[in-house]
Amino acid sequence: MKSLHCHRPALLALLLGMTASLIFAENGAAKPSPENFSVTTKNFALNFVVSGDGRLYQRTLGAADATTKTARTDECYPPAGDGFIWEPALQVVHADGNTSTSLIFDGVARTNDAAGRELTRISLHDPAFPLEVALNFRADRERDVVEQWTEIIHHEAGPVTLERMASTALLLPAKNVYLTHFFGDWAKEMLTPITELVTPGTKVLDSKIGVRAEQFRNPSFVLSLDGPPAENGGRVLAGLLEWSGSFQCAFDDNGQSLRALCGVNPFASAYHLNPNEIFSTPKMIWAWSTNGLGEMSRNLHRWARDFGLRDGHKTRAVLLNNWEATGFAFDFNRIVGLYDPAKEIGTELFLLDDGWFGNKYPRVNDHAGLGDWQPNRQRLPDGLAPLATEAVKRGLRFGIWMEPEMVNPKSELFDQHPDWVIAQPKRKLELQRNQLVLDLTRPEVQAFEWQTIQDILGVTNITYAKWDCNRYLTQPGSSYLAPDRQSHLWIDYVNALYALMDKTAKKYPDTELMLCSGGGGRADYGALKYFHEFWPSDNTDPVQRVPMQWDYSYFFPPMALASHVTHWGNRPIHFACSVAMSARFGMDLDLTKLSAADKAICAGAISAYLKIRDVTQLGDLYRLEDPHSNARGTLNFVSPDRARAVMFAFQLQDGSAAPVRPQGLDPAKNYTVRELNPAPGRAVIPQEGKTFTGEELMRDGVVPSCAHAIEACVIELGS
């Protein structure tokens, strides 16, 4: 792989956007574009102006006066080295060593696709060098979502070096803008939301861990233009970078305007671009709302179900994972012994986790075996197929865990190919979780990993896979890349990874895929478009999952959040089941050791979930009471036709059972109130079995059955 989506174009005109929508004079010759033009959705507009100096400027987002004089600080995609003194979007060293770039407007083109989205391509060029830039905006009108990315090409005598290449350089007003972002290490992902006023200077959110986007912060944020963000009011703009590697989101406030520069982290990532190759940056997703965070999320969730993840309009199966039950200690009979209890309580899918492979170095712990993807002959003498067959016999689907990008030094693969790992020469190997990362820039590694995936997913009756990635880069060196191309590793690895994921999704269209990465390390749409869901965190304590899943829901539909019932935190099983029901329900328990009472609660939760998952997974989410600042967290989902709704109340601290007021109902429709899978011994809710109009329910609310800490209530509102 040469670069991020590098190609050798047959038609440069396509890149430059000089196609169907250029404005032509009556005699057919191209004439300059109008001075002003816009990229618009139903409620959102990016307004551009071509000034007398030939440069392209962006009007500050939210600015009402379109006649304001432009300044160099408003340049749409500012390059470095020719008069611009703030943070640049593009920094180039030309083939002759010149470090300056200027960009002059060429033209704009617009095309529409069948999904109701418009693509706008703005063409720019450097008047002194044969270097061109195309700014791309794909606008989804109905959902108020815009995808933005940049393409760079040149025809100089030798390679040029890209030292900065942002996906976006959006301009916002410099006053009263608040930034909400999220911090959290392993098992604390998305648990620490931070909202702060943006002040003069540069605020940087970034990751330098290489092979995944997140361990400490997520490449997603919210900007609010009317003070701190609110759920149901104010102008808010969510930003999400489609990138599973090192990223940077820099917010540069020069006192006059605020610029959001987001894209590949320029740290150690200088890219040498050959003549006639296209460098395409990751896509940046912008989701706009004039009515607060709730509307923003619902728009973004609708976009995601259509374009952001696989099979976004199909409900997800109920899954049982063996990890908490067995860890590495299992054999054929132990696993098969979990099937009947799983089927009895309503589970639809069984996932065999880590520990099924390795022979010379058996995978009996996390010290050995990664890279040797042959089933362990002592544990599984006949391989994976008999396990899958036994599951199918009982009416269960079968899934498998894999970590194709990784290797243990204690493995046959490492014995044979020590040069295949990412490492720095002359340095002692630094391990994380006793493993190393395979160098995906190397063609032999790409071929090996693709063959590994085919060998695993090609086994009959495997219809689900969990793709893990349990470490990041700390010694970023490649024995394959040339000495002067070592900085390509950060970009080429992710590019090769996406090619591998893309091939997997296309070859196995009926196989569900879960993203996992030491927890939520790949919670980004760059990878998620090849997958059905992701693992938000290894922390499955339901008390902490309530605020964690709340925060993830700003950016991702709950159907994409894998939420498992486990014994983490030793919480009541009813509470754990209720929390899991609000996302993609799964279990990670030894069902053979559950009490009869707890098993009945689990079975009841699954039965209820199967009835409502079309609403919770395909409907609209309304966040009601924030668990970060209240004694409870509450939310509700509404079906697309607004005929049904499901409401969740999670009591985190003792408090009164005040009514929960749902949102999004049809005021004129009638809804009958029923508690689903009520906790044993708890009083019936006052409105049980009664019918109310949507207007009455949204005004007066429903009193849940939970008032004490670590209690939950799930209520269906339907016909």
How many Å apart are CA 626 and CA 485, to the nearest integer? 48
Spatial distance between the Cα atoms of 597 and 601, rounded to a whole number of angstroms: 6
Cα 426 to chain center, whole Å?
Answer: 36
Measure the CA–CA gap between 156 and 94, rounded to whole angstroms: 8
**How far is it, in rounded angstroms, from Cα 144 to Cα 291?**
12
Question: Which residues form the catalytic set?
Answer: 468, 538
Token pair for residue 326?
Answer: 């067995």
Check: CB of residue 134 under 8 Å from CB of residue 15: yes
The alpha carbon torsion through 447, 452, 458, 464 (nearest 10 deg) reads: -120
| 682, two tokens | 């708890």
Q: Which of 193, 242, 188, 192 is nearest to 215 (CA)?
A: 188
d(CA 634, CA 383): 46
SS3 of residue 279 by DSSP: strand
| CA 623 to centroid of chain Cα atoms | 20
- Can you tell me the distance from the alpha carbon of 302 to that of 181, in angstroms, rounded to the nearest whole number? 22
The alpha carbon of residue 660 and the mean position of all alpha carbons in its chain are separated, in whole angstroms, by 30
| Residues 316/612, Cβ–Cβ less than 8 Å | no
Question: 144: how many CB neighbours lie within 10 A of its CB?
Answer: 24
| Structure tokens given for 536 | 């938000």
Q: Rounded to an integer, what distance in angstroms lies between the CA atom of residue 544 and that of residue 652?
A: 10
Cα distance between residue 218 and residue 187, in whole Å: 14
Evaluate whether 244 touches 220 at the Cβ level (below 8 Å).
Answer: no
Rounded Cα gap, residues 45 and 96, in angstroms: 39
Cα 583 to Cα 53, 394, 591, distances in angstroms: 53, 26, 21
Axis-axis angle for helices 573-581, 596-618 (nearest 10): 20
Report yes or no: 542 and 290 within 8 Å, Cβ to Cβ: no
Question: What tokens were used for 184?
Answer: 């959290």
Identity of the amino acid at 362: P
Class of residue 60 by CB neighbours under 10 A (exposed 0-12, middle 13-18, buried 19+): buried
Residue 448, H or E segment: helix 443-457
Q: Taking a C-beta distance cutoff of 8 angstroms, is the pair 209, 201 a contact?
A: no
Most distant CA atoms of the chain, gap in Å: 83
Pairing of strands 462-467, 512-515: parallel
